[in-house]
Amino acid sequence: MEMNKTKVHIIIASIVATSITWFISHEMGYGPIIANGVVGVIAAALLPATLAGPAYAASFVGMSGLNVLPSFGVSLLGGLVVGLVLSFTGEIFAGIGGKGGTTAALSGQITRFISNLFV
């Protein structure tokens, strides 16, 4: 498991997608569904498929409530966590439905655990 350019791009796209989704949902007040939809459409329109899918899956983490991601900074951490998980599990369950949501749920809980260590 080595870090390469593609994995770095997935991590960056995940951080951006998670944090923008969180911002649209919580700071702008549009809610998680609209935030996820906006980020998903933008990712599909602007990114290659190798990044659009991970960005959309990472956006699921940004949909989390304030009890999971209480601040913008924690949403950045959530993006990093989901980016790492997606980068290093890319071949696992490829093409099988539910990987994005399951990965997002796992990443959200890992993020919540880490952030609770520092609160």
**Across the chain, which distance is largest between two alpha carbons, in Å?**
39
Q: What is the extent of the structural domain holding 74?
A: 5-117
35 touches 62 (CB < 8 A): yes
pLDDT tens column, 15-35: 999 999 999 999 999 999 999
What backbone phi and psi angles, to 5 degrees, belong to 47? -110, 150
Q: Which of 24, 46, 23 is nearest to 13 (CA)?
A: 46
Q: Mean per-residue pLDDT for 39-68?
A: 96
pTM of the model: 0.92
The structural domain count of the chain equals 1
Q: Compare 11 and 93 and report the one with higher pLDDT.
A: 11
Mean per-residue pLDDT for 82-87? 94
Q: What percent of the chain has pLDDT over 90?
A: 82
